Amino acid sequence: MSQVLIKNGKVIVGLNAQVESVDLLVKDKIIVEIRPNIDATSLKKQDKNLTIIDASDKLVSPGFIQTHLHLCQTLFRGSADDLELLDWLRLRVWPMEAAHNPASLAASAQLSVAELIKSGTTSALTMETVHHTETVLETVERTGFRATIGKCMMDKGHGVPARLSENTTDSLNASLDLLKSWHSNSGRVRCCFAPRFAISCTQGLLETISKIAQENNILIHTHASENRREIEVVESETGLRNVEYLQKVGLAGKNIALAHCVHVNEREQQILAETGTHVLHCPSSNLKLGSGIAPITEMLERGVSVSIGADGAPCNNNLDIFKEMRLSALLQKMRYGSTALPAKKAFYLATLAGAKALGLEKEIGSIEVGKHADIIIVNLNNLHCTPTPDLLSTLVYSANASDVETVIIDGQVVMHNRELKTMDEKEIIATARKEYYQLVSRAGI
Ligand code: GUN
Ligand code: FE
């Protein structure tokens, strides 16, 4: 048995995110007590290995959940600037994904997980590349991170390098093999289906994935309606708007997660709301690729489920949830006026809404007795956070990723006082640099 006691913090408690001065006791993976004055001395007598963390004057928050990331792309950070989506994919990202081998992919995944933990993200939904996804699963398993990971599926499309181009049966079999070996619905490491987007998948592939996913309660993670040229291609090929087409092939529903949805009309927003389809908002990526500002406020008003992700490092360039939360709020104010998306709502999108998209709202996303202990401790005693009349506002608008001091995932302390406990930061940086040079030379770009 392992126990962690967090003393004297200001804790963001419950579904309503109330800030309370309480202690927290974690037993194995689970939060078992939330109340003032949990007695450390008597607990220490019973359990010599009890870890006590002093959170005096610090904020204790549910760990952040990002619902759209590509861990495989973190090694491409800075290598694909100033392009719009389809050129960005064809000229830079696809050639680099095609050049990945297990060593470069492991380096990219480690670099990603280290950056995510250091900036307070404890769970993610990811889309990887076509090959070697088991390497990403192994890295996540070893580092203690929580993720739902999909092998990218691509069985159609122009400008796709031969190495990324699959036939439909092979693509399905490879995904099913990973599910068999790695997936458990209740586990910390899970798998999903990840067809890349409508224009790189055949209708047959999408329909088959929809059927298998529904029968087995598996999540489907894809991109949709991110870019004007992308939706024009979908319309010219299918005669339908992107979201209408996805609904027709069975990709609308509570187990469907669509990244972006920047260009969705009223009818499409209604489909998203009525079917419970999850929208994964990526504000930095939408700005850097010049894709647009997503109509998040309208979608939320219609009852669409929206959560947040940083997308890939080459279209961001960081995996920092603090930047994404703040930008989500600011962009909606630009589009809909200054009352749109207040801090508490942005915090919700980055925590509980992400848990819902993952189908894990009973397990994670808030600090409650019985939930898994995915918790971060943030030090707001610094110039840029002072004063703090409203702690949630400070967290969303003022705090930086580097203010996160301690991170606990599934009851395991994976960072304490900014030191990673399951990874060697210096070695990760050195390996990433080495693998980056070799990958670029293999990619020939
Ligand atoms: N659409 C299809 N693939 C991708 C990708 O890798 N990143 C982004 N941002 N959009 C995509
Ligand atoms: Fe993406």
pLDDT tens digits for range 247-286: 999 999 999 999 999 999 999 999 999 999 999 999 999 9
Confidence band, pLDDT 50/70/90 cuts, at residue 15: very high
Q: Which atom of ligand 1 is nearest to the CA of 223?
A: 1
Are the CB atoms for 346 and 392 separated by under 8 Å? Answer: no
Across the range 111-115, mean pLDDT stands at 99
The pLDDT of residue 93: 98
Q: Which of 76, 87, 89 to mutate to test the pocket of ligand 1 (most atoms within 8 A of CB)?
A: 89
The environment of the single-atom ion ligand 2, i.e. residues with CB closer than 5 A, is: 311
Which domains are assigned to the chain?
3-62+372-420 (2.30.40.10), 64-357 (3.20.20.140)
For residue 141, the model assigns a pLDDT of: 97
Q: Which two tokens stand for residue 235?
A: 């319309």
Q: What is the pTM of this model?
A: 0.98
The answer to whether residues 65 and 358 touch, using CB atoms and an 8 Å cutoff, is: yes
Task: Report, as an integer, the average pLDDT of 170-192.
Answer: 95
Q: Which ligand is nearest to the CA of 152?
A: 1
The yes-or-no verdict on residue 379 having pLDDT over 90 is: yes
**Which residues have any ligand 1 atom within 6 Å of their CB?**
70, 85, 89, 93, 196-197, 223, 226, 285, 311-312, 315
Q: Which atom of ligand 1 is nearest to the CA of 282?
A: 9
Whether residue 185 is predicted with pLDDT greater than 90 in this model: the reply is: no
Average confidence score pLDDT of the chain: 98
Ligand in nearest proximity to the CA of 234: 1
Span 59-110, pLDDT tens digits: 999 999 999 999 999 999 999 999 999 999 999 999 999 999 999 999 999 9
1, pLDDT greater than 80: no
Average pLDDT (33-58) is 96
Per-residue pLDDT at 125 exceeds 90: yes
Residues 6+ apart with CB under 8 A from 211: 250
Q: Residue 389: exposed, middle, or buried by beta-carbon count in 10 A (0-12, 13-18, 19+)?
A: exposed
- Binned at pLDDT 50, 70 and 90, residue 186 comes out as confident
pLDDT of residue 168: 98
Q: Which of 112, 197, 225 to mutate to test the pocket of ligand 1 (most atoms within 8 A of CB)?
A: 197
Provide the 10 A C-beta neighbour count for residue 110.
Answer: 26
For residue 122, what pLDDT is reported? 99
Q: Which two tokens stand for residue 422?
A: 């399951």
